[in-house]
Amino acid sequence: MTEGRAKMRVLKGIPASGGVAIGKGFFLNRILPRSVRSTVGREQVDEEVAAFQRAVAHSREQILSIRDGVADPSSEHHQILTVHLALLEDSMLVDQTIRTIRENQFAADWAFNKVLQNLLETFHRIEDPYLRERGHDLRQIGHRVLENLAGRPVDSIAAIREPVVIVAHDLSPADTAQILKSPVLGFATDVGSRTSHTAITARSLGIPAVVGVEGATEEYRSAETVIVDGEEGVVVFDPNEETVREYQDRRKAYAQRTRDLAKFARLPTVTRDGKTLLLLANIEFPEEADVALRSGAYGVGLYRTEFLFLNRKDLPSEEEHFETYKKVAEKFVRHPVTIRTFDLGGDKFTSQIELADEMNPAMGLRAIRFCLKEKEIFKPQLRAILRASTYGKVRMMFPMISGVGELREAMAVVEEVRGELRRRRIPYDKEMPIGIMVEIPSAAIVADLLAREVGFFSIGTNDLIQYSLAIDRVNEHVSYLYEPLHPAILRLVRRVVEAGHDAGIPVSMCGEMAGEPFYSYALLGLGLDELSMNAAAIPRVKRILRKSVAYEAKEFAGALLLHATAAEIGRALRKKLEDLFPDERF
C-alpha cells in the first residue's frame, strides 16, 4: 500500500450475489445531481421546454443504442431497457414536467427533479418489495436525463478496459447490460435489495455483488483496491496485505464450493430415508427459465406476472400474456409451471390503471380483490393461462385469498372464461390444477375448508408473517419483529400442511423462507411437499435435504413447536444444524 493512503475500511451491506471479487476500484457516478429551485422569465419558458425535450430525446437515443447491442431481444436486459424507453414517454414524467415548467416558469432541471421526486415518493410507499424496487428504474432514467440536460457525459461501463470492482450509488439495467461485455469483477452499491434488478442481474451473471452498502460511494477513494464478498455482504476498501490474502483464500474456497454444489443440481431431492421433495424456482421473466433448469429446478413454483403490467400506457393483450406463459410452459414441458394471477392494485403501482388512494393499501384493493372488481382486466389473463395449459403442465394460482366465498367467486370467473373458450373451440387443459396462495391468517385458519375446493396450496410466507404478526416489514421501527420462526408462524404452516394433506392436495412454500438453507430442515420436518425459491439457492437447499432424515426432522419440528419464542426456536434450530451438518455454513 502507498504511504499516506487511508486505512482499511470495512462496510456491511446485503449479500446479493455470491463469490469474492478483489480488484482495482472504479467509481461509477449514478448519484442524482442536485437541482436548485430556480425560475426563468416568461420569454424563456419555451426554451426550457425545448431543452428538456432534447435531453429526453438524447437519453432515448442512448438507451436505444445500448438495447440494440443486446444480442437476445427476448432477454431480461432487453425487456428492462424497453421499459426504460417507455418511461421516457410516460405522461406522468414527461408531460407533467412540461406542464410544471409552463405553469410555474421553473427551470427545466428543477421542474423535472420536482416531478421525479414526487413519483419516487409514490414508489417508496409501495409495500411490495419487488415492485418498490422498480422505483430504481425511474431514478436511473432520472439520472440520465438530468446529466444530459446539464450537458455532462454519462459514464459508460463499455469504456472500461481493465478488470475492476465497481462502486456506485446504483446500477441501471443499461449498466448491467454492458457488464456482460466488460471486465467487471464485481460491484457494490449504496442502495438496493435482494429483489432489485441489480441484484437479480448479478446472480444471473454470477458476479459477486453487495447492495445496500450505506456510504459505499462516500468511502471510495480513487485507484484503491476494493474487495466485495457477496456471501457475507462485506465490502473492504483499501485492504491491507493480510486481508487480501484472507479473501484470496475465501475466493478459492467459494469456487470449490460452487463446483461441489453444481453436482447436486442434477440429483433428485430425496432424503436419506426416501422422502422426495420437489424444489422449484420463483421466476419473473421467461428467460429465467434456463437458469432455473441449470440450477436443478423441478419446475416453477411461483411465476410472477406483474412485470407485464408495469410502466406502460396500455394493458397487456391476451396474446402477450399467452406468448409469455407458453414460452415458459414449453421450457418445463414435463414439469409444473405455477402462474400466479396478477398481484396488483391498491398500493401496487401501474401507470395504466387509475387507482384511488387508500389509507392502508397493503390491506386494500389488491391482488384477487382487485381482479374480482376489474374482471375485464382479469379475464384476458385467465384465457391466456388456460390456452397456455396445453403446452405443458401449467397450474393457476390466486394470490391473497381470504376465504371460501372469495375463492368461489374467482373460480366462477374461471368457469365463465372456460365457457368462452369452449364456444370458440379453443383448446385448454380441462384438468389444469388451480390453487391458492395461503398468505392471510384467515386462509390458514380455514385451510381445511379451502383445501376441499382447490388443487394445491402454496404458502406465501412474506405476507403471512407480516399479517400474522401485524408488522410492516418495511417500517424500520418494527422490522425487527419480522420473525419467520415465530411460534405462531410455524404453527400456521403446520396447520396448512395438515389441512392440505387431509384433503389429499400438495402443499408448497414460495416465500423467501423457502430458499433460506437455515430453515430447510425445519420445513422438511413440518411436512411441506414443495419448496419454491430463487434458482441460485436450489443446489444448496438440495444438498441439505439429501443429507437429512425426514422422520427425524419431523420429530425435531414437533419439539420446535413447543418453544415459546422465535429466539428460543432459532437457538435450538442452529444447534441442531451445527450438529447434523458441521460442514455447512449457516
Strand order in the sheet with 209-211: 9-12, 234-237, 225-229, 20-28, 164-168, 184-189, 209-211, 14-17
77 is catalytic: no
Amino acid in position 395: R
38 close to 249: Cβ distance less than 8 angstroms: no
- Residue of 77, 136, 169, 197 marked active site: 197
276: which strand partners? 270
Q: What is the Cα–Cα distance from 24 to 221, expressed in whole angstroms?
A: 11
Q: What is the Cα–Cα distance from 293 to 162, expressed in whole angstroms?
A: 33
Q: What is the Cα–Cα distance from 310 to 83, expressed in whole angstroms?
A: 8
- HSE-up of 322 (CA within 13 Å, CB side)? 15
Total Cβ atoms within 10 A of residue 271: 18
Measure Cα distances from 480 to 215, 459, 474, 486 in Å: 22, 22, 10, 12
197 is catalytic: yes
Burial of 570 (0-12, 13-18, 19+ CB in 10 A): middle
512 close to 460: Cβ distance less than 8 angstroms: no
Q: What is the Cα–Cα distance from 510 to 515, expressed in whole angstroms?
A: 8
Output the DSSP codes for 170-191.
---HHHHHHHTTS-EEEEEESS
Q: Locate cell 479473501: which residue?
A: 247
Q: Which of 124, 121, 102, 120 is nearest to 111 (CA)?
A: 102
535 close to 484: Cβ distance less than 8 angstroms: no
Q: What b/e string do you get for 180-193 counting C-beta neighbours within 10 Å, with b at 16 or more?
A: bebebbbbbbbbbb
Amino acid in position 186: G
- Residue of 84, 136, 321, 510 marked active site: 510
Measure Cα distances from 2 to 95, 207, 239, 241, 298 in Å: 52, 28, 12, 12, 52
Catalytically annotated residues? 197, 510
